[in-house]
Amino acid sequence: MVKENTFSFFLGCIMPNRYPQIESATRFVMKKLGFTLMEMERATCCPAPGVFRSFDKSDWMVAAARNIAIAEKNDADILTVCNGCFGTLIDVNKHLKSDPEMAAKVNEKLKEMGDYQWKGTIRVRHIAEILGFEVGPTEIQKYIVRKAEARAAVHYGCHLLKPSRIRQLASPEIPTFLEEYVEALGVKSVDFAQKLTCCGAGGGVLSFDKNTSMKILKEKLGHMQAANPDFIFDTCPFCQLQFDGGQTTVNEIYGTNFDIPVIHMSQLTAWCMGMDMEKIGLQYQAHGKDYQFKELKEPMEKVSIKEKSIEGAG
Amino acid sequence: MTESEISIKRKYKKLEDFDPQFFENIARRSNIFSCIQCGTCTASCESGRWTAIRTRQIVRKAALGDLSVLEDPDIWLCTTCYNCYERCPRDVRPTDVIIDLRNYASEIGNMSPNHTAVVGYLRSTGHAVPINDKIIRQREALGLDPIPPTLYKYRDEENSEIIPFHKLFRVVERGKEYKERKANSRKNLDGFEKLS
């Protein structure tokens, strides 16, 4: 039986090694929500679905199955905060569950990697799924101490929702759960053109052809800027790397002056739960170093009025 | 058709250039032969709006056995956004087709040096994006362990599990060897198939 309210915290690469503020925010949020996070010792890169899957699918599966096997030893579902890690781990986990022949092959190879066996006993979860659905926009009100007054450009990222037959989270064409979630934290989600397009970093394109990647990003940033957001809201450190570091590159190449803060779901939630602005870590990021969340006034009253009217109606 | 294009095509006309497993694998993992060439994939392609990648053509070439597609750098411009995969009315899963083509292109040595460098990072650190001193200080300031408890932290222990990682993604070496072997055998063909 898999442990309840407990997760094996999968770190991946970009979060611990480029945006550690997302890691500390995630640990803070999950603790406040009453979840236990177990470490996944000796875990590695997921490996990234762009480069590694493109090179050799079977080696990619072996390395991913090794990570899943570490979580199985913890007897707790995997929690990831990255769309890429989510993509690799859930793809491989579900594929192996449906293909016993492949699972046997992978397990044979896993023996060379150490004392590992993939058994298929756990699930792979993304923090957007936990906060957006499991806790949900209503329940989260019990845990937050303040709301943020801001306008956010919400970016889902491709691999959170697609392929939808494997993710089974929300519609890949008109998802709404992140908007509902940020609005529950006081933030207004702004509409912008081509909202669901890719950030341009995936599939190994960022390292293969940076110019193409920056073209896609520049268009996306332009659409976001037009809606005048206070920050970009994402659920993936790789998208965050692209938006944050990419703004500098786009400005260099095209002479633009994009300067939009980029904030991960864990960072915003942690602030609403009382984490200090300094620990949210925007000062470490390339853009929006001085951005401060503004507290939304009288948010709690609105909620209580709503509840009263529901009671009255009943 | 330019001369170099013709010579690329000719390169795949001999029996030994084909791997019978190749089409079997692609057909098994996708519905490539269901493709009706409607072009929904190309129309949905985010990368294709900026580059020459034409997903419909890639699927057509793969289905017809025109392996010149493996020499085509365009297959590496897919951002795997899965729009085509979601919208295909025949359930062809073009993203999976492109990934399979990339696997095969890697086997014959068509890899970007930037990508092979990432494999090097994985083998030596267990991460595609390794940690650095600046981040170590930043982690300390945030109250985190300076080095996360991933394999990198344990890389120097006895019988470290990083060692088997050196054997992963040998496709990089296999691809290079294939390219060299091909280059050598081509020299013997009186320069007829000289490639640009």
Q: Are A264 and A271 in contact (CB under 8 A)?
A: no
- CA dist A244 and A249 (Å) reads 9
ipTM (interface pTM): 0.91
Statement to judge: residues B13 and B95 lie in one domain: yes
Statement to judge: residues B174 and B159 lie in one domain: yes
Judging contacts by C-beta atoms under 8 Å, the chain A residues touching residue B136 are none
Record: contact A162-B122, CB cut-off 8 A: no
Statement to judge: residues B124 and B37 lie in one domain: no
Judging contacts by C-beta atoms under 8 Å, the chain A residues touching residue B165 are 44, 63, 113
Q: What residue type is assigned to position A22 of the chain?
A: I
Statement to judge: residues B103 and B39 lie in one domain: yes
Statement to judge: residues B127 and B67 lie in one domain: no
C-alpha distance from A205 to closest chain B C-alpha (Å): 6
CATH number at residue B28: 1.10.1060.10
Statement to judge: residues B145 and B186 lie in one domain: yes
Judging contacts by C-beta atoms under 8 Å, the chain B residues touching residue A207 are 112, 114-115, 117-118
User: Tokens at residue A239, please?
Assistant: 């998208």
Is B101 an interface residue toward A (CB < 8 Å)?
no
Quick: pLDDT tens for B119-149. Answer: 999 999 999 999 999 999 999 999 999 999 9
> What are the structural domains, with CATH classification, of chain A?
6-126 (1.20.1050.140), 137-300 (3.40.50.11810)
Record: contact A52-B131, CB cut-off 8 A: no
C-alpha distances in angstroms, A244 versus A208, A258, A260, B50, B79? 19, 10, 8, 21, 18
Record: contact B79-A158, CB cut-off 8 A: yes
- CA dist B166 and B148 (Å) reads 21
Judging contacts by C-beta atoms under 8 Å, the chain B residues touching residue A14 are 129
Judging contacts by C-beta atoms under 8 Å, the chain B residues touching residue A16 are 131, 139, 148, 150
Judging contacts by C-beta atoms under 8 Å, the chain B residues touching residue A215 are 50
Expressed as residue numbers, the domain containing B165 is 111-196
C-alpha distance from B17 to closest chain A C-alpha (Å): 19
Degrees, nearest 5: CA angle B50-B114-B111 = 85
Last residue of a domain, one of B107, B124, B155: B107
Which of B58, B115, B150, B157 is best to mutate for the A interface (most A CBs within 10 A)?
Answer: B150
Degrees, nearest 5: CA angle A77-A82-A87 = 70
Per-residue pLDDT band at A312 (split at 50, 70, 90): very low
**Mean pLDDT of all residues in B69-89:** 95
Statement to judge: residues B84 and B116 lie in one domain: no
Quick: pLDDT tens for A159-209. Answer: 999 999 999 999 999 999 999 999 999 999 999 999 999 999 999 999 999
User: A251-255, A300-304, B16-20: lowest mean pLDDT where?
Assistant: A300-304
Name which of A17, A44, A203 is nearest B79 (Cβ-Cβ). A203
Task: Give Cβ neighbours of residue A171 (< 8 Å, ≥ 6 apart).
Answer: A161, A164
A–B interface: beta-carbon pairs under 8 A: 186
Quick: pLDDT tens for A242-290. Answer: 999 999 999 999 999 999 999 999 999 999 999 999 999 999 999 999 9
Give the SS3 label for residue B104: helix
User: Tokens at residue A2, please?
Assistant: 């898999």
Last residue of a domain, one of B60, B87, B107: B107
Is B77 an interface residue toward A (CB < 8 Å)?
yes
Which residue has tokens 């992140």? A178
Is B108 an interface residue toward A (CB < 8 Å)?
no
Name which of B112, B139, B154 is nearest A208 (Cβ-Cβ). B112
C-alpha distance from B29 to closest chain A C-alpha (Å): 11
Statement to judge: residues B99 and B134 lie in one domain: no
Is B172 an interface residue toward A (CB < 8 Å)?
yes
Name which of A56, A62, A281 is nearest B142 (Cβ-Cβ). A281
Last residue of a domain, one of B58, B87, B107: B107
Percent of chain B past pLDDT 90, that is, above it, reads 67
Statement to judge: residues B140 and B194 lie in one domain: yes
The structural domain count of chain B equals 2
Statement to judge: residues B116 and B102 lie in one domain: no
Give the SS3 label for residue A36: strand
pLDDT at A309 over 70: no
Name which of B80, B112, B139 is nearest A203 (Cβ-Cβ). B80
C-alpha distances in angstroms, B54 versus A177, A201, A246, A307, B94? 32, 19, 26, 54, 11
Is B43 an interface residue toward A (CB < 8 Å)?
no
**Predicted local confidence at residue B8, as pLDDT:** 55
Name which of B86, B142, B172 is nearest A279 (Cβ-Cβ). B142
Name which of B81, B131, B171 is nearest A56 (Cβ-Cβ). B171
**Predicted local confidence at residue B68, as pLDDT:** 84
**Predicted local confidence at residue A300, as pLDDT:** 54
B 3-32 → A contacts, CB under 8 A: none
C-alpha distance from B192 to closest chain A C-alpha (Å): 31
Judging contacts by C-beta atoms under 8 Å, the chain A residues touching residue B80 are 49-50, 158-159, 202-203
Name which of A41, A54, A114 is nearest B164 (Cβ-Cβ). A114
Which residue in chain B is spatially nearest to A209 when comparing CA positions? Answer: B77
Statement to judge: residues B81 and B156 lie in one domain: no
- CA dist A190 and A150 (Å) reads 10
Statement to judge: residues B147 and B126 lie in one domain: yes
Quick: pLDDT tens for A51-107. Answer: 999 999 999 999 999 999 999 999 999 999 999 999 999 999 999 999 999 999 999
pLDDT at B18 over 80: no
